[in-house]
Structure 1
Amino acid sequence: MVVTTVVGGRREHRKWARESLTDAFVAFLEASWAHSDVVRDAPARRAVDGDDAQECYAEMRSQLTRLRLLASEEVLRAGEDLLRAQRTAQEARPGAARQEALLAAARCRRLVVAAAKREMGLP
């Protein structure tokens, strides 16, 4: 009975950790997409509206904190790179610089997805 309880407890803990990790990845990536949408939809001749962009950026930071507790260094590096890329996109001048920064953020986002899949043992 004790063995069953211990094994069952470990199994539940792993299940909880995997679900929490998945939730953090999804929330982090959703906030990244939302941030990119805000930046992309900003008027072509003006700076990005701070409130919506800041809200998305703050959500990314919050989820990255969760990932720090649950994920590997590889995932954290990819996530931090994406967070920096999003900030660069937000601060980029309108036009070509902003578009290039958004493309860089998209490349970083793909690296986060790849790292997340490896972390979770997915193909």
Structure 2
Amino acid sequence: MDETSAGPGAVRLVHDDDRDRYEALDGDVVVAVLAYGDSDGPDAEGGALGLMVRDLRSTVVAPDRSGAGIGSAIVRFALDDIRGQGMTVRATCWFARGWIERHPEYQDLLEDAPQDQEGDAR
């Protein structure tokens, strides 16, 4: 289980890969969850053997913690983890998709991101 402490309200961010989700914890209390599902991405010929795609499906923050930046923190944590694993992202969650749109430094992770013609490898 990957984990880090981050920003707002001193929550602890963890990747619970057994449950296919990222969590924000305040002590032992889960205050936010980002659920995902993995699938094989298309290879260069359109087959299903390319990079693994992590679909960010749903972001939920406890109502009493809404507006504290925890949703943003958990999305950033997930994207950093995904980048570190060499995966791409499909963001079907409206919150995660909007967050990525507002942060161009993560847009290269999107499965439908245009490929850099100069071979920029991040």
TM-score (norm. length: structure 2)? 0.32
TM-score under structure 1 length normalisation: 0.32
Structure with higher strand content = 2
Greater RCO, 1 or 2 (C-alpha within 8 Å, sep 6+): 1
Structure with higher helix content? 1
Larger Rg: 1
